[in-house]
Amino acid sequence: MSACATEQPAPAPGAPQQRTLVIYAGRTEAQIGPILGQMAQAIGVKLDVRYGDTSKLSDQLVAERQDSPADLFISQDAGTLGLLESKDLLAELPDGLRQSVPGAFRSVSGHWVGTSARARVIGYDPRQVAKADIPRGTDDLIQRRWRGKIGFVPGNASWLSFVTALRVLRGEDGARSWLLGFKANNPRRYESHPQLLDAVDSGEVPLGLLNHYYWFEKSARVGVDKMRAQLHHVTGSDPAALVNIAGVGALRGDDVPLAHKAVEYLLSAPAQQFFADHLAEYPVRAGISSTRHRLPPLAEIKGPDLNLNRLVSVQDSLKLLAEVGLG
């Protein structure tokens, strides 16, 4: 786990000393470092940001419990926030903050909120996969025609969320059966979504299980006309159509009011515009849309009717993945 403290100007003599907000961040510094810097200036704090893997940081928080220095946890997915909530580690958020986020993207009991949303997609190389042949859903991915031709990122929280959604929607036996079929198809493992997208784009692998925003980030950087990889959105009740969130929760402790100020900023118009424009994610605040990316409306994607609070059983998903040999 890496740490990064945002540099702040030294206070003038006699000025009150700035307080330090300790953040455990399950998103990368490249993704959220700029907006956290803006947040620090806006609410007048110093930052001690400790970046790492969402699941590992969650495990650390569970181990540290009341001894944790963390004031705020930024998660890559809803399930991990739900897990911390179930361990009674998150403080309740003020009603005004909760109500500013649609019900589909926040905790039922008010302990975490989404800050942005993302859709699962199938990336494909049109030179190798005709449009008519693109897998239309989860079950198509285990057809033998795709043996050795699908890439995925097993160490990523989004894959874990998909597996959890699969368990919730199909039950343990249904999820196990699908995972065994997926494993039998010899899927290709990648370390990260950008690496997987590059592999699809270069033709190294015909299909990749991704989050939508990686394609938009890369196309903004290299040009849409330079992108060979394309995206297919699965729709309907299929787990492959899952729309998840990146989110935030305040840890129980002495600095809960300060953490609430940070959450309030992450839900503010400037922060929501940052997520939409710089990360190509869906803002959770109404009335904001990207000025840089032409994202398909979430209403058109029509993901499964699945309350994100039900993704809390991530530990059971990890056990199942280990059991079938995909851990």
- Which pairing describes strands 20-25 and 188-189: parallel, antiparallel, or unpaired? unpaired
Annotated binding-site residue? 190: no
- Which pairing describes strands 150-152 and 207-211: parallel, antiparallel, or unpaired? parallel
321: pLDDT strictly greater than 80: yes
CA proximity to 303, closest of 154, 132, 118, 156 = 118
Distances from the Cα of 212 to the Cα of 15, 118, 219, angstroms: 46, 7, 11
6: pLDDT strictly greater than 70: no
How do residues 299-318 score in pLDDT, each as one tens digit? Answer: 888 789 899 999 999 999 99
Residue type present at position 117: A
CA proximity to 107, closest of 121, 97, 118, 119 = 97
15: pLDDT strictly greater than 80: no
How do residues 211-240 score in pLDDT, each as one tens digit? Answer: 999 999 999 999 999 999 999 999 888 999
109: pLDDT strictly greater than 80: yes
How do residues 243-266 score in pLDDT, each as one tens digit? Answer: 999 999 999 998 899 999 999 999
- pLDDT given at position 289: 93
- pLDDT given at position 16: 59
Mean pLDDT, to the nearest integer, of 118-125?
97
Annotated binding-site residue? 213: yes
How do residues 33-73 score in pLDDT, each as one tens digit? Answer: 999 999 999 999 999 999 999 999 999 999 999 999 999 99
- pLDDT given at position 298: 83
For the chain, the domains span 2-117+244-295, 118-242+313-324
Whether domain 118-242+313-324 has CATH 3.40.50.1360: no
- Local structure of residue 106 (DSSP, 8 states): B
Structure-token pair, residue 66: 């009341």
Residue type present at position 99: Q
Collapsed DSSP state (helix, strand, coil) of residue 36? helix
How do residues 168-215 score in pLDDT, each as one tens digit? Answer: 999 999 999 999 999 999 999 999 999 999 999 999 999 999 999 999
May I ask the CATH architecture of the domain 2-117+244-295? Answer: 3-Layer(aba) Sandwich (3.40)
Task: List all residues 6 or more positions away from 9 whose beta carbon is below 8 Å from its beta carbon.
Answer: none
Mean pLDDT, rounded, of the chain = 93
- pLDDT given at position 7: 46
The alpha carbon torsion through 82, 69, 272, 197 (nearest 10 deg) reads -70
pLDDT: which is higher, 12 or 287: 287
- pLDDT given at position 1: 52
Asked if the domains at 2-117+244-295 and 118-242+313-324 fall in one CATH topology, the answer is yes
